[in-house]
A and B are shown apart, each in its own frame.
Chain A
Amino acid sequence: MDGAEAVIHIDGLVKHYGKVEAVRGIDLRVARGEVFGFVGPNGSGKSTTIRCLLGLLRPTAGAIGAFGLDSTRDGVALRRRLTYVPGELRLPDRLSGMEFVASIGRLRGGFEPARRDQLAERLRLDLHRHLRDLSSGNRRKVALLLAFLFDAELLVLDEPTNGLDPLVQHEFLGMVREARSAGATVFLSSHSLSEVQRAADRVAVLRTGKVVAQGTVAELRGQARQRVEVWFEDDPPEVELRALPDMVDPVVDDHRFTATLSGSIQPLLGLLARHLVTSMLVEEPDLEEAFLDLYDGETV
């Protein structure tokens, strides 16, 4: 992807907090109109990268920005085109939800009360209550409402569904799809892999401040281990099965063979074609497995 197509550009981003290296050299491009998953465990550098993108943190080295604008130099112009849900969400206690949303609306301009009410209804959120009286889930709904209230070209969502019940999570995913259909780009940071799996077109996986893998969800799944289970009519060809490449922990138990496959399934299928197989199960890896694999080693 060249620079002209990219909405978000990150080049050699490094961020240190004193001696702590939170981000250790990230290069990334996010294309216009895609939902980009930014995945990693706590402390992997996701939020630091996002806070650099918003201009809240100044990079130690490298460059980060969006729409061709630099986060540090052109922060106001850049933030005019994006909305944000923080991972660690703190809202002003002394205001009601209605007051807070109206205040942000006045700061941004283009605030439509009708759309606010529509989103509040959709998220099942009572904005008349004081923010200090809201549960963490309802506070997050306030932040989500703000993220979708304005026609932003880029939505930066850091752990957006933390504390939300499954119904609202489902609604949120619908809102993400609608935003993308309307032409918005969504940068979705999460350690909830199922959420990213359902929403993202492409994913980058972070580990200790570095991107250890990136690609489509399908590509990451392809890198993951698959669990295979085969039932033979007769005794399994144990010696041949154990000799197959990329076979981890093969177990023969009566007519049943189980193993974990860390590479292509083709050699196994070739072998099985020569034998009488009564049943076979290949568990499709979800991103969780791909993700855990990436943490086993430095990169995949």
Chain B
Amino acid sequence: MNARILELVAGPLRAMRRATFWWSLGLAALVAGTMSVWPAFKGSSGISQAIDQLPSGVVQAFGLADFGTPAGFLRANLYDFFVPLLVVIAAVVLANGQTANEEASGRLELYLAQPIDRRAALLGRASAALVALVVISAVLLVAQLASDAAVGLSIDTGYVLSTIMLCALLGTLHGSLAVAIAGVRARPSLVLGVGIGVAVVGCVVASLFPLSSVLAPWRHISPWDWAFGGNPLDHATELWRYPALAAPSVILTALGVFVVARRDISGA
């Protein structure tokens, strides 16, 4: 690969190495810490009975069904809410940090004064954020599989892999939204607010809309439903779910790249 093109990705990656490390470590620690309590829940009929006493809506909304099973435990404690949300926040923060935040602070000025196309620069930074997200997700996967083995949680490795891939794709989608907004306007607070706000609304829609017969059909507007609507820890994931998350990511990134070439670059 051309050294100049490689540097458009490698430069921002170098700047993100510390953030990537801490996000990876944090998520791995969350997984390891949560998994350490699995032996206490494993096959516990008492907890299952206690959960059975709760209203079905609460059980469904908080993903508490089958809490004593491996898939139910992982879903309720990690993959229904916490891990995907943290991955999404990591994606938005990393993408914002390399785009809108860099531009608004004036740190892109000297960079964009070099003989590079600003569309390539934004695409390189989006790609670097994607690589960082892949690294974080890979560490998450390793931490999950290692923890499963350490505490004796038995679950299909393919299901875990699919779930974490869907988390990463959900993060990619929101990171791409951040890139699109940064392409339109270099306002870090706007990028963070919209990126994380859309994630939270999507999570609420996917969790709570199914509780209402009127709203239930609308749960499909949420990317969280595209990702986890098929219970990837229980079943093999339908293949359409991957491009359903990837395609809008490509479109949003392309939008940001298209727009950034047609506006002024903010100064310090």
Q: List residues of chain A with CB under 8 Å of any chain B CB.
A: 47, 51, 54, 56-58, 75-77, 79-80, 83-84, 86, 88-92, 94-95, 99, 103-104, 106-109, 143, 146
Assess whether A88 is in contact with B7, with CB atoms less than 8 Å apart: no
Please, which residues of chain B bring their CB within 8 A of the CB of A104? 110-111, 114
Q: How far is the CA of A83 from the CA of B8 in the complex (A)?
A: 18
Q: How far is the CA of A58 from the CA of B259 in the complex (A)?
A: 13
Q: How far is the CA of A107 from the CA of B6 in the complex (A)?
A: 9
Mask of B112-125 contacts with A, CB within 8 angstroms, 1/0:
11111110000000
Q: Please name the residue on chain B nearest to A94 by beta carbon.
A: B15
Please, which residues of chain B bring their CB within 8 A of the CB of A86? 106, 109-110, 113, 268
- Whether B255 sits at the interface, judged by CB under 8 Å, is no
Determine how close the nearest CB of chain A comes to the CB of B163; give it in whole angstroms: 32
Assess whether A90 is in contact with B109, with CB atoms less than 8 Å apart: yes
Assess whether B4 is in contact with A106, with CB atoms less than 8 Å apart: yes
Q: How far is the CA of A91 from the CA of B106 in the complex (A)?
A: 8
Please, which residues of chain B bring their CB within 8 A of the CB of A103? 7, 10-11, 14
Determine how close the nearest CB of chain A comes to the CB of B7; give it in whole angstroms: 4
Minimum-distance CB pairs A-B, first 3: A90-B106, A88-B268, A80-B115
Given known A-B contacts A90-B106, A92-B107, A94-B15, A56 and B112 have beta carbons under 8 A apart: yes
Q: How far is the CA of A148 from the CA of B267 in the complex (A)?
A: 23
Assess whether B115 is in contact with A79, with CB atoms less than 8 Å apart: yes
Q: How far is the CA of A214 from the CA of B263 in the complex (A)?
A: 31
Please, which residues of chain B bring their CB within 8 A of the CB of A77? 115
Determine how close the nearest CB of chain B comes to the CB of A238; give it in whole angstroms: 56
Q: How far is the CA of A123 from the CA of B6 in the complex (A)?
A: 30
Candidates A54, A56, A57, A106; contact of B7 at CB < 8 Å: A106
Given known A-B contacts A86-B109, A88-B268, A76 and B117 have beta carbons under 8 A apart: yes
Determine how close the nearest CB of chain B comes to the CB of A220; give it in whole angstroms: 29
Determine how close the nearest CB of chain B comes to the CB of A19; give it in whole angstroms: 15
Q: How far is the CA of A176 from the CA of B78 in the complex (A)?
A: 61
Assess whether B3 is in contact with A106, with CB atoms less than 8 Å apart: yes
Supply 17 further A-B pairs (C-beta < 8 A) apart from A88-B267, A92-B102, A108-B114. Answer: A51-B265, A56-B265, A57-B264, A58-B262, A76-B117, A79-B115, A84-B110, A89-B110, A89-B268, A91-B107, A92-B107, A103-B11, A106-B3, A106-B6, A107-B4, A107-B11, A107-B116
Given known A-B contacts A58-B264, A79-B115, A107 and B106 have beta carbons under 8 A apart: no
Please, which residues of chain B bring their CB within 8 A of the CB of A89? 106, 110, 268
Assess whether B113 is in contact with A56, with CB atoms less than 8 Å apart: yes
Determine how close the nearest CB of chain B comes to the CB of A112; give it in whole angstroms: 15
Please, which residues of chain A bring their CB within 8 A of the CB of B113? 54, 56, 79, 83-84, 86
Determine how close the nearest CB of chain A comes to the CB of B16; give it in whole angstroms: 8
- Whether B105 sits at the interface, judged by CB under 8 Å, is yes
Given known A-B contacts A56-B113, A94-B15, A94-B18, A109 and B4 have beta carbons under 8 A apart: yes
Interface positions, chain B 152-201, Cβ under 8 Å from A, are none
Please, which residues of chain B bring their CB within 8 A of the CB of A58? 262-264
Assess whether B7 is in contact with A107, with CB atoms less than 8 Å apart: yes
Mask of B198-230 contacts with A, CB within 8 angstroms, 1/0:
000000000000000000000000000000000
